[in-house]
Amino acid sequence: MVNEQLCKLRGSPKDFGGVPIVLFCGSFHQFRPVQERSILLPSAAVVLSYDNSFKMEQRHQHDKTHALWKRFTTVIILDEQVRAAGDPELQALLTRIRLGIHNQSDV
């Protein structure tokens, strides 16, 4: 984890070793989180799969990451769709991907 490595390298307990961080994230609305595990939520809010694949160590790492995420204090939300601006077909495709549906033209 970048946070832990920077703390270790700089010998500082501060987040990211005291290095100012600018974090760029994609659209949380456009595509679902990998494995349905969003760092916006604590691990207690994550639904376990039938085989309990979200193990104790993963849960611990997730909670550390979630706590770090919550410490970011300045948030700028970009609310204009730029990637698909002027392309209604691409906008529709991205919406279908996000919703997990498709039509014959997507295949």
pLDDT (tens digit per residue) in 1-12: 788 999 999 999
H or E element, residue 2: helix 2-10
Q: Is the pLDDT of residue 20 over 80?
A: yes
- Contacts of 25-34 with C-beta under 8 Å, sequence gap 24+, read 29/98, 30/94, 30/97, 30/98, 31/97, 31/98, 32/98, 32/100
What digits encode the pLDDT tens for the residues 26-64?
A: 665 566 666 667 777 888 887 655 556 667 778 888 889
pTM over 0.85: no
Query: Where does the pLDDT of residue 18 fall: very low under 50, low under 70, confident under 90, or very high at 90 and above?
Result: very high
Q: Could you tell me the residue ranges of all domains in the chain?
A: 1-31+73-101, 39-70
